[in-house]
Amino acid sequence: MLELFRFPGGVKPVSHKEASAAAPITRAPLPKLLVVPFRQSATGAATIQVVAGEKVLKGQIIGVAEGAFGSAVHAPTSGLVRAIESRMLPHPSGLAAPCAVIEADGEERWVELSPLDPFDSDPEIVRAKIKDAGIVGLGGAAFPSHVKAKTVIDTLIINGAECEPWITCDDRLMRERADEIVSGAIILGRLMAAKRIFFGVEDNKPAAAAALHAAVGGMPPPSPQPLSREGRGAFHADAQTIQVISVPTLYPAGGEKQLIRVLTGIEIPYGKLGPDFGVQCFNVGTAHAVARAVQHGEPLISRIVTLAGNFARAGNFDVLIGTPIDALLALGAPLPDTDRVVMGGPMMGFTLHDTAVPVVKASNCLLAMSPALFPPPKPAMPCIRCGACTRACPVVLQPHELYWYARAKNFGKTQEYHLFDCIECGCCAYVCPSRIPLVDYYRFAKSEIRAREREKLAADLARERYEFRQFREEREKAEKAVRLAAKAAETKAKLAREEAAKVGAGETAIAGEPGNTETALAGEPGNTETASVAPVNDKLALIAAAQARAAAKKAAVAPQNTAELTPDQQAQVAEAEARRALIDAPKDSA
């Protein structure tokens, strides 16, 4: 017998499972209109593959998985795509997203299905099959299964704990379709090269555990030739490697990390996943869907949904994805005092704002609420630090401290007290004698912290952009200054060179060509005047200097003007320059 472990805390609410667990699963009638959201997984959407007016067959792919974390979507029945439009989803915040509105033709004509022999196919092909079948976690988290099945692990855990009160869809599924669940588990085990498979079933479901036991015992060997030819994919189903284990009924034993703890003793902290510790966990419904997809080629287009609570006919229904919840609720005949409907269980489910939304892959239970069945809580009292919450917390947090800091909006402290380790199971609020809606405070703190982190990221980005602009402007300024300095230096050097040249040229001109001198003098009388004022007027001197620089520059930029002068002209120029040099001389000394 396997040694079981305890997880900390936990609560034991009344299970209320009898009413809905009594009757076998019933196939829900085909609705006229189905609304199939293209976003069915927790992590990604599907790329739309159909247009309005197109005819589709049952099981036809209408959306292919987008990216690595997307998940495929299929037509749940044959019919006509009436529209592709944004519709409200069953989501706590009432999100709308693109959906295919399909009008059923009632013929239920399937696409051609292509089953695989799971024990004679390459694991990659099997995994692709799971991806194409649009399989996501059916326990409620809706994480794409092909992504989870990519890891190599020691222990595969199939979660049949179903710890939330009222919900019985997994219980009925285990009782009625245990063979396929075990097949699916073996397929998954093989994909992940698991050494053993544990089925964890809470001990309040002995019939389900017995059915799984029988299925495991009666399982034929997975393949005539065990698949040991490659290292991976070698999985032998036998009594030692597959075990059905009854775990103590204690909410939240069905939480992934809690069940892993109970069955293996491993504690997986926040931020880590099962495969980091050689464990992976799938819901029994997911294992069933995997078997259907691989062995029969059927994509995931239906699931079992529990109708529980304030119904005249509570029970479990096999429902096509996309069935309007309104239509489904009518099957259970809700009692007249029903005031709202919760999707999921009473501990972690959320109230549907509108029951016109469709059933999605994550819809495990619809709980009809009435004031008589679920009395509204009395007013909250102050926290008396009684510690009931700390004893109930399965993560060993200090819920009263977290509450205190969340209420004070001291979000830094909430993180120091490991707010994000909180799994929002609701145990603390369930036991609180002051009836404080503790989980609401944690959700509030988490969303505030996430919003602030987003803001901080945005602000950081803006600051980085601003700082880069500043830097760029500074850099351009500096480059310009360098350019100017270089130019100035060049000019100075040129001037010096020219001066040296003038001294030589002037002497020649005066000596050899006296006539030219006259012309030159007559030609530039203004210069002479300016020069005569220069010594006394600094400003004029500066202007003159500027003019000289400008001339020099001109000479530098456009040397071609003087390049092809006759020797006579050159001599004239040189003479003029020499005169100017003489004029400039007093200014330079001044």
Which residue ranges make up the site for another protein (CB under 8 A)? 7-8, 11, 13, 92, 165, 257, 261, 267-270, 272, 340, 342, 344, 346-351, 367, 369, 374, 376-379, 381-388, 390-391, 394-398, 400-401, 413, 416-418, 421, 424, 426, 429-435, 437, 439-440, 443
Pairing of strands 33-37, 196-202: unpaired
Q: Which is nearer to another protein, 118 or 345 (CB)?
A: 345
Q: Which is nearer to another protein, 306 or 323 (CB)?
A: 306
Q: Which is nearer to another protein, 382 or 515 (CB)?
A: 382
Q: Which is nearer to another protein, 25 or 406 (CB)?
A: 406
Q: Shortest approach of another protein to residue 419 CB, angstroms?
A: 11
Q: Which is nearer to another protein, 232 or 391 (CB)?
A: 391
Helix or strand or coil: residue 215?
helix
Q: Shortest approach of another protein to residue 245 CB, angstroms?
A: 21
Burial class (CB in 10 A: 0-12, 13-18, 19+), 1: exposed
Q: Which is nearer to another protein, 311 or 417 (CB)?
A: 417
Q: Shortest approach of another protein to residue 254 CB, angstroms?
A: 15
Closest to 367 (Cα-Cα) out of 168, 209, 106, 120 = 168
Neighbouring CB atoms inside 10 A of 96's CB total 13
What residues have CB less than 8 Å from 325, skipping those under 6 apart?
Answer: 90, 341, 343, 352, 355, 356, 357, 358, 359, 363, 366
Q: Shortest approach of another protein to residue 263 CB, angstroms?
A: 15
**Cα Rg, the chain, nearest whole Å:** 42
Q: Which is nearer to another protein, 31 or 140 (CB)?
A: 140
Cβ contact 199:185 at 8 Å: yes
Q: Which is nearer to another protein, 433 or 512 (CB)?
A: 433
- Quickly tell me which residue has 């992976």 as its tokens: 280
Which own/partner pairs from 496-502 qualify as long-range (CB within 8 Å, at least 24 positions apart)? Answer: 498/552, 498/555, 498/577, 499/581, 501/574, 501/577, 502/574, 502/577, 502/578, 502/581
Q: What are phi and psi of 528, to 5 degrees?
A: -65, -45
Q: Shortest approach of another protein to residue 267 CB, angstroms?
A: 4
Report the distance separating Cα 329 and Cα 125, nearest Å. Answer: 39
Q: Shortest approach of another protein to residue 5 CB, angstroms?
A: 12
Q: Which is nearer to another protein, 123 or 345 (CB)?
A: 345
Q: Which is nearer to another protein, 320 or 429 (CB)?
A: 429
Closest to 220 (Cα-Cα) out of 255, 270, 186, 260 = 186
Neighbouring CB atoms inside 10 A of 278's CB total 16
Q: Which is nearer to another protein, 191 or 279 (CB)?
A: 279
Q: What are phi and psi of 516, to 5 degrees?
A: -60, -35
Q: Shortest approach of another protein to residue 265 CB, angstroms?
A: 12
The strand ranges marked E within 284-402 are 302-309, 315-320, 340-343, 350-351, 365-369
Q: Shortest approach of another protein to residue 51 CB, angstroms?
A: 38
Checking phi first, is residue 9 left (phi over 0); if not, alpha (psi -120 to 50) or beta? left
Q: Shortest approach of another protein to residue 208 CB, angstroms?
A: 23
Q: Shortest approach of another protein to residue 425 CB, angstroms?
A: 8
Report the distance separating Cα 424 and Cα 446, nearest Å. Answer: 11
Q: Which is nearer to another protein, 377 or 586 (CB)?
A: 377
Q: What angle separates helix 438-512 from helix 538-557, to the nearest 10 degrees?
A: 90
Report the distance separating Cα 455 and Cα 458, nearest Å. Answer: 5
Report the distance separating Cα 359 and Cα 343, nearest Å. Answer: 10
Q: Shortest approach of another protein to residue 93 CB, angstroms?
A: 11
Q: Shortest approach of another protein to residue 272 CB, angstroms?
A: 7
Closest to 142 (Cα-Cα) out of 227, 211, 70 = 70
Annotate 478-514 with DSSP letters as a single string: HHHHHHHHHHHHHHHHHHHHHHHHHHHHHHHHHHH-H
